[in-house]
Structure 1
Amino acid sequence: MIAEITATEADFSSRFPREPFATRHNLADHPLFSLTTLARLAKTLPRDRVEYNAGDVAPGVKPEDVPTLDMPAEEVVHRIEQCNAWMVLKRVEVEPAYRALLEEVLTGVAEKLGHGSLEEAGFHDIQGFVFVASANATTPFHVDPEENFFVQIRGPKFFHIFDNRDRSLLSDEELEMLPSKHRNKRYDPRHEEKAQVFSLQAGDGLFVPHLWPHWVRTGDGHSVSMAITWKSPRAERLNTLLRANGLLRKYGFPQPAPGTSPLMDGVKVAAYRAMRAVIEPLRRSEGMRRTLRGLVFGKQANYYYGEKKA
């Protein structure tokens, strides 16, 4: 059976990639998402690719107030039905089986969009993030720097998503990126008047546009989900600009919003990419990634290494 995501032709033709829309998929019974397999993955991934904490938090919880768990990652997965936890396994495409699955799914999407290949469709930097969460757990309000087909594998989940074009939700400064900035964003409960809420069960999914704010909660049973992500050329360029603006602001040089000065935007993008080209070969090991983040962005860039406490 070919792994695939389906949606209406109208959604693919008129909403993609600008607006969210509901999808379906056939991954719910895939063996790569059994708890036994995911526990083994949690144990073998590099430590900076595994993040977990207690799940009963508010959508607007402050990063420093997120309660951690004193438990090995693989045990969290095995005990997910009882331990009140939220976990994300990052960059699972480093494992060949997951990489093959991601590419199979997105190749099918590319074909539905009329493209002959992933490259032609603009699906660059394909990554996978697997979420394992207990009942009634919350992923706080945040944005993601990727485009994303989110698939619900097991259990219920409720996905609250907001229009990124509405600057009353998040300012341009709040969208700037730095490893030292936690992904959780300022949240106002009054935002909910503007939310689209997608109720997901196993087999359901959702297209999540680049940088659209959202928060997610599970229902009365434990949940397994996956974000199938990529970066289009447009998203890659905007991410680079937001990182450059965030770095300049950190050192006392706040920048205007993207698009205010296209010429200066181009200069900042080129300079940041040149800097990354020098650093990137050094980031191949977990130890060097941790050291570089700390040197350039401060110790808060390694927040997910914090000592686990109950």
Structure 2
Amino acid sequence: MPVLTEATAQTIVPSEDFPKKFNREAFMFHHKLAENPLFTLPRLMELAKETQRTHKQDLYYDAGKDVAIGARWDEFSPPPPLEDALERIEHNGAWIAIHQAQHDPEYAAIYDQCMSEFSDLSGVDFKKVMRVQDALIFITSPNRVTTYHIDRECNFLLQIHGTKMIHIFDSKDSEVLPQEEIERFWTVDNNAPRYKPELQDHATSYHLEPGNGVHLPVNWPHWLKNDNNISVSLSVNFTWKDSERGNIYRANHYLRRFLKINPRPPFESPLSDGLKNVFMSMTYNPARAANRFMHKLKGDPIRAR
């Protein structure tokens, strides 16, 4: 399969799930990147080393076997040298994440094409709503667990090599993800969501093989485990320009903490949401926050972000 350096044939297989479910619920889809040579281990090793040299902040890696599903990201030991993590990945329990792979023009072409197709399939003009774009590549050792977490990003996860299981929970399930945990996540602690093994049966599980992908809306809890193979995945993701979701959760966190009240969750009351958004936004962009508040009072729909 040729490397995508310009517009080519369709990469994402069309599905009616895109317009119906996008950013509302998780769903599986299919793609045609499994044989692309950019995702072979030697090429990815080059990319990781170049990222470490030129954009060190965009490279994360660790190594450790028997990682617990509910482990916090800040509990891992200091990582080994990058060469060790890469060259011994079959045996050392490594988890490598290369952010912003689109710094490399070849990976940028893939990201741009995927986003263009996702935009067409979902009916959303992403160019108008994206704040931060990220072509994020995961390389993980056999049987390695990716711990339970939620993300700020809207995510399309494409499985390229190897197989693994992903377990996805509904963010609206208050047993799995209480409001307090989401509020802390947006305000003070990226590890705030806590895995509850007794609620594992609330998850929908997908077995990912090369050519499969899953869509993860913002804040949907999930964890993954590789099968007995090295896995390579591409996360095509972005954050929304709209800061409303985070502002409401941050306001609720402070209301709960300092006033000891149980605040109304987001997206239930335009008036409540608007006031919280204005309050949390006014220090850096009061005009934009006030404009959104007025639109809500006029009955405009609240976008689920």
Superposition TM-score tier, normalisation by shorter sequence: 0.7 to 0.9
Aligned residue number for residue 35 of structure 1:
41
Q: Once the 2 structures are TM-superposed, how far is the Cα of residue 158 of structure 1 from its aligned partner?
A: 0.5
How has the CA–CA distance of structure 1 residues 225 and 272 changed in structure 2, closer, same or farther, with 3 Å as cutoff? Answer: farther
Report if aligned partners of 2:19, 2:121 keep a CA contact under 8 Å in 1.
no
Report if aligned partners of 2:247, 2:280 keep a CA contact under 8 Å in 1.
yes
Secondary structure, aligned partner of 1:267: helix
TM-score (normalizing by structure 2): 0.77
* 1:80-100 deviations in Å (ceiling 9; x for gaps): 112211121122233333222
Distance 2:29 2:140 in 1: 21
Report if aligned partners of 1:148, 1:230 keep a CA contact under 8 Å in 2.
yes
Distance 1:44 1:251 in 2: 44
Aligned residue number for residue 170 of structure 1:
177
Report if aligned partners of 1:134, 1:223 keep a CA contact under 8 Å in 2.
yes
Secondary structure, aligned partner of 1:163: coil
Report if aligned partners of 2:186, 2:246 keep a CA contact under 8 Å in 1.
no
Q: Once the 2 structures are TM-superposed, how far is the Cα of residue 4 of structure 1 from its aligned partner?
A: 1.8
Q: Once the 2 structures are TM-superposed, how far is the Cα of residue 273 of structure 1 from its aligned partner?
A: 4.2
Report if aligned partners of 1:241, 1:268 keep a CA contact under 8 Å in 2.
no
Which AA in structure 1 matches 2:193?
Answer: K
Q: Once the 2 structures are TM-superposed, how far is the Cα of residue 50 of structure 1 from its aligned partner?
A: 1.7
Distance 1:2 1:272 in 2: 46
Aligned residue number for residue 57 of structure 1:
67
Matched ranges for 1:291-306 at <5 A: none
Distance 1:72 1:254 in 2: 47
Task: Determine what percentage of the aligned residue pairs are the same residue.
Answer: 29
Is 1:5 matched with 2:12? yes
How has the CA–CA distance of structure 1 residues 252 and 128 changed in structure 2, closer, same or farther, with 3 Å as cutoff? Answer: farther
Q: Once the 2 structures are TM-superposed, how far is the Cα of residue 240 of structure 1 from its aligned partner?
A: 4.3
How has the CA–CA distance of structure 1 residues 209 and 97 changed in structure 2, closer, same or farther, with 3 Å as cutoff? Answer: same
Distance 1:78 1:272 in 2: 48
Larger Rg: 2
Unaligned runs of 5+ in 2: 1-7, 287-305
Is 1:270 matched with 2:281? yes
Distance 1:88 1:185 in 2: 21
Aligned residue number for residue 223 of structure 2:
215
Distance 1:41 1:219 in 2: 24
Secondary structure, aligned partner of 2:109: helix
Which AA in structure 2 matches 1:26?
Answer: K
Is 1:20 matched with 2:31? no
Is 1:205 matched with 2:216? no
Secondary structure, aligned partner of 1:36: helix
Which AA in structure 2 matches 1:148?
Answer: N
Secondary structure, aligned partner of 1:130: strand
Q: Once the 2 structures are TM-superposed, how far is the Cα of residue 55 of structure 1 from its aligned partner?
A: 4.6
For these two proteins, the number of residue pairs brought into alignment is 269
Q: Once the 2 structures are TM-superposed, how far is the Cα of residue 14 of structure 1 from its aligned partner?
A: 1.9
How has the CA–CA distance of structure 1 residues 80 and 118 changed in structure 2, closer, same or farther, with 3 Å as cutoff? Answer: same
Aligned residue number for residue 142 of structure 1:
149
How has the CA–CA distance of structure 1 residues 209 and 221 changed in structure 2, closer, same or farther, with 3 Å as cutoff? Answer: same
Q: In the alignment, which of 132, 155, 159 is matched to residue 139 of structure 2?
A: 132
How has the CA–CA distance of structure 1 residues 105 and 263 changed in structure 2, closer, same or farther, with 3 Å as cutoff? Answer: closer
Report if aligned partners of 2:14, 2:121 keep a CA contact under 8 Å in 1.
no
Which AA in structure 2 matches 1:237?
Answer: E
Q: Once the 2 structures are TM-superposed, how far is the Cα of residue 17 of structure 1 from its aligned partner?
A: 2.4
Distance 1:184 1:245 in 2: 15
How has the CA–CA distance of structure 1 residues 179 and 226 changed in structure 2, closer, same or farther, with 3 Å as cutoff? Answer: farther
Q: In the alignment, which of 152, 155, 158 is matched to residue 151 of structure 1?
A: 158
* 1:182-223 deviations in Å (ceiling 9; x for gaps): 436311111211010000011110111111000011001010
Secondary structure, aligned partner of 1:5: coil
RMSD value over aligned CA atoms? 2.8
Which AA in structure 1 matches 2:92?
Answer: C
How has the CA–CA distance of structure 1 residues 97 and 265 changed in structure 2, closer, same or farther, with 3 Å as cutoff? Answer: farther
Q: Once the 2 structures are TM-superposed, how far is the Cα of residue 44 of structure 1 from its aligned partner?
A: 2.8
Report if aligned partners of 1:3, 1:27 keep a CA contact under 8 Å in 2.
no
Distance 2:255 2:56 in 1: 29
Report if aligned partners of 1:32, 1:38 keep a CA contact under 8 Å in 2.
yes
Distance 1:38 1:2 in 2: 23
